[in-house]
Amino acid sequence: MYVEGRNGNSQAKYLQADTLTRMFGQLTNENIRIGRFRADSASYQEEVLRALETHTESFYIRANRCAKLDNILGSIAPEKWQKIRLGVQEMEVTDLSDYKPFSKDRSYRLVITRIRRKDGQADVFSGDAFTYRAILTNEHTSSNEAVVRFYNARGASERLFDVLNNDFGWSKLPCSFLAENTSFMLMTLCMPIFTPILLESIPEKLIGLSLPTGSRSLSSDLSLFQPSG
């Protein structure tokens, strides 16, 4: 668990490589190595990728569209696309095994998905009516569908940040200094660890009662912090 405060209204990508290097350094000191790392497009930076190559076994990053990728999308042969379904969403997926986003000396695998647009509006670059997204990874063994499913599972983690922002004060931190606010964030972030202990101490007759707001139940709120598996 790692939290680092930033001064001012900084963009998510600002000095991210430095932040991740400090985090990985602390994990290394505890003999912890990250197996799989996934992040949004704020991590789509050359210096971040180099840090991830050093400190993780594999990574999965949302790739930004650029002129180079736009030129590729329209030239992918139709037979290269495979139809898959994720929940209720139908899409097509393919990959490029030797994609070089930043420099000529490093290549990665790019897993591309496309979803047909309901309005039929053609993409100005690809020339067809699809919405394209891509995931950059250094892992070449999993299927395209498995990569997409693993990356999309980030959504479950994002729910936790939603609860921390709205129910535990992360959206409006209580102090005026970084150190105090970082301590506050670390304490509230411990909820996923201590919630199972809390659940064991709550009488069964209280589980399921409505909270004062009446919008959610005690059991549904606490379930967000239950460890998976």
* pLDDT tens digit sequence for 196-223: 777 777 666 555 555 555 444 445 455 5
132 compared with 165, residue with greater pLDDT: 132
Q: How far apart, in whole angstroms, are the C-alpha atoms of residue 5 and residue 180?
A: 10
Structure tokens at 131: 């919405």
- β pairing state of 56-62 and 108-116: unpaired
- Domains for the chain: give ranges and CATH numbers: 16-152 (3.90.350.10), 157-223 (no CATH)
Q: What's this model's pTM, rounded to 2 decimal places?
A: 0.77
For 192-201, how does the pLDDT look when each residue is reduced to its tens digit (9 = 90+)? 677 777 777 7
Q: Which tens digits make up the pLDDT trace of 92-151?
A: 999 999 999 987 788 999 999 999 988 888 877 777 888 999 999 999 999 999 999 999
Strand 56-62, strand 130-137: pairing: antiparallel
CA distance 24 to 74: 38
pLDDT at residue 218, as a whole number: 46
Distance CA 62, CA 134 (A): 6
